[in-house]
Amino acid sequence: MRKNWLTAVICVVIAVTFFVAGFFTRNVFDALSPKYEIIFSQNVSRENIINFNKVKSLLLNSYYEEIDEDVLLEGAIKGMVEAVGDPYTVYYTPDMMKSFMEQQTGSYVGIGVTVFMDDDGLATVADIFDNSPAKAAGMRNGDKIVMVNGEDVTEITDLNLIVQKIKGLPDTEVVLMVYRPEINNYVELSMVRKVINIQYIESRMINDDIGYIQLKLFDEDIAQDFVNHVNKLIAAGAKGLILDLRNNPGGDYSQVVRMADFIVPEGLIVYTEDRNGNRQEEKSGSGELNMPLVVLINEYSASASEILSAAIKEYGKGTLIGKTTFGKGLVQTIIPLEGNAGLKFTTARYFTPSGVSIHGVGVTPDIEVSNDEKYRYYSIDEIPEGEDKQLLRAIDEVSRLISEKEHNK
Q: Which of 37, 273, 288, 314 is catalytic?
A: 314
Q: Residue 179, CB half-sphere, CA atoms under 13 Å: how many?
A: 13
Max Cα–Cα distance, the chain, nearest Å: 85
Q: Which of 99, 301, 303, 379 is catalytic?
A: 303
CA distance 409 to 406: 5
Q: Which residues of 256-286 are buried (b: 16+ CB within 10 A; e: fewer)?
A: bbbbbbbbbeeebbbbbeeeeeeeeebebee
Instruction: Please state at what angle helix 222-235 crosses helix 253-263, rounded to 10 degrees.
Output: 30
Q: Is 314 a catalytic residue?
A: yes
Q: Is 144 a catalytic residue?
A: no
CA distance 31 to 27: 9
**Are residues 91 and 81 in contact, defined by beta-carbon separation less than 8 angstroms?**
yes
Q: Which residues of 172-186 are buried (b: 16+ CB within 10 A; e: fewer)?
A: eebebbbbbeeeeee
Q: Is 135 a catalytic residue?
A: no
**Are residues 255 and 219 in contact, defined by beta-carbon separation less than 8 angstroms?**
yes
CA distance 342 to 92: 5
Q: Are strands 201-205 and 267-273 parallel, antiparallel or unpaired?
A: unpaired
Number of neighbouring beta carbons within 10 Å of residue 391: 24
Q: Which of 328, 344, 379, 399 is catalytic?
A: 328
**Are residues 263 and 229 in contact, defined by beta-carbon separation less than 8 angstroms?**
no
CA distance 282 to 271: 6
Task: Point out the residues that are catalytic.
Answer: 303, 314, 328
